[in-house]
Amino acid sequence: MKKAIIIISILAGVVIAGFIAYSFLASSKVPQAFIDKHNETVALGKDAEQLSDLTSMPEMEALNKQMSNEDYSGASKSVEAAIGRKKEADSKLSSIDSKLIELNTLSAKISDAKIKASADKFIDTRKKENSAKISYNNLQIQMLEKLKTMVDILEKNPKAISAADEKTVNDLNKQIDDLKNQIDAAEKAVNDVQSQYKEMEKDFFGLAGLEIAK
């Protein structure tokens, strides 16, 4: 009985040691520069998401109150600030594109062919995800810019607007409604490709014996 226990303990130790050795060997095949560059894209992505989220944007909360109170001057400033945040997010998303090009170059230095193929796959999907996010963000910028034009007309004539301005406001309303449909479709596209990317990222880090950056 004791012999059996000793044998099982030895086998368990060998398996654990083998797994640790495999993890070390796999991770050693991925240059640290590659991991660092990936972490930079993750950090940029989080910054862009925080900046661009309209649902949690303080400017949008202020805008709703200002429009209810017919404070068109304040509303105009809030929309302008929201556009500024969205453009800053666009800049960060564009930086991610540049980082992903660098990541592609660094993946060439991964010595294990299977791990490299997995890396190239998840980088390619990340490029598609980032492109979808840029399109989504740009559509929201267009919507906010049209809203800004509309609010500025109301600020100029808070009591009564001309027939021409009224037509412009109505046209802008229609364009905003059309953009909302495009934005909904763009959001779905982002969610779909994001799910694919997460799976491929998980596969790569599993093969490499590394932890995914949180």
Residues 202, 154, single domain; the answer is: yes
Same-domain status, 19 and 115 = no
Alpha-carbon torsion angle 35, 17, 199, 92, nearest 10: -20
Quote the mean pLDDT of the chain: 87
Distance CA 87, CA 138 (A): 8
Same domain membership, residue 133 and residue 79: yes
Does the residue 59 lie in any domain? yes
Same domain, 194 and 134: yes
- Predicted local distance difference test score (pLDDT) of residue 88: 97
Note whether 12 and 109 are same-domain residues.
no
Query: pLDDT tens across 27-46, in order?
Result: 458 999 999 999 999 999 99
**Domain containing residue 13:** 1-30
Task: Kindly give the interhelix angle for 32-52 and 72-107, rounded to the nearest 10 degrees.
Answer: 170
Total domain count for the chain?
Answer: 2
Same structural domain, 22 and 125: no
- pLDDT tens figures, 50-74: 998 998 899 999 999 999 999 999 9
Does the residue 214 lie in any domain?
no
**Statement to judge: residues 94 and 127 lie in one domain:** yes
Q: Say if residue 21 is in the same domain as residue 47.
A: no
Cβ 176 vs Cβ 147: under 8 Å: yes
Distance (Å, rounded) from C-alpha 131 to C-alpha 129?
5
**pTM of structure:** 0.83
What 184-189 contacts at long range (C-beta under 8 Å, 24+ apart), as own/partner pairs, is: 186/132, 186/135, 186/136, 186/139, 187/136, 189/132, 189/135, 189/136
* DSSP structure string for 106-159: HHTT---HHHHHHHHHHHHHHHHHHHHHHHHHHHHHHHHHHHHHHHHHHHHSSS
**The one-letter amino acid at 165:** D
The proportion of the chain whose per-residue pLDDT surpasses 90, expressed as a percent, equals: 76
